[in-house]
Amino acid sequence: MAAVPLQLLFYVNGFYLVLYIVASLTMLIYKGQTFSYPGDFLSVDLTLLVIMAIAEVLRLYLGVRGNLAEEDSLLGLSLVMIVGSVFLAVYFLVWQTYVLKTDIILNSVLLVLYGMESILKVSAIAAFNG
C-alpha cells in the first residue's frame, strides 16, 4: 500500500510549486523593473528558476509514480533529486542578486516541505523493502 501521508504531501507540494513559480517569476519581473541588476544576473536568476521548475515537475512525477507503484528506485531517485532542489532553494533564499522578505518566506516554506518529504520518502522506502 502506498504511503498516504507522502502522497498528500506530493499533492500539497504540487500546488505550492505552482504558487512558488508564479510568485518568484512575478518578483523577478518586479525586481527587474525596480532595481538595477549588475551585468546579466537577471537572466541567470530567471534561467535557474526555469531549471528549478522543470526539475521539480520531474522530481514530483517520479515521487508520485514511485509511491503509487511502490517502486523504491523511483522514490529513491526523487529523493536524490531533492539535493539539487535544496541547492536551488538556498540559492533563491540567500545568493540571488536581490532577496526580498517574500523570497525568504517562500523558500523557507519550500525547504520545510523538502525536509518533511525526505523523511516520509525514507520511511516509505523502508516500508516497501521491509
Distance CA 74, CA 93 (A): 28
Q: Would you say 37 and 97 are in contact if contact means Cβ atoms under 8 Å apart?
A: yes
Kindly report, residue by residue over 26-78, the tens digit of the pLDDT.
999 999 999 998 889 999 999 999 999 999 999 999 999 999 999 999 999 99
Number of structural domains found in the chain: 1
Distance CA 120, CA 41 (A): 36
Residue 130 has a pLDDT of 76
Note the pTM of the prediction, 2 decimals: 0.94
The rounded radius of gyration (Å) of the Cα atoms in the chain is: 16
Q: What is the largest CA-CA distance in the chain?
A: 55
For the chain, the average pLDDT equals 96
| Mean pLDDT, residues 105-110 | 98
| Mean pLDDT, residues 12-34 | 97
Q: In which domain, by residue range, is 108 found?
A: 4-129
Nine-digit cell at 77? 531517485
Distance CA 35, CA 129 (A): 52
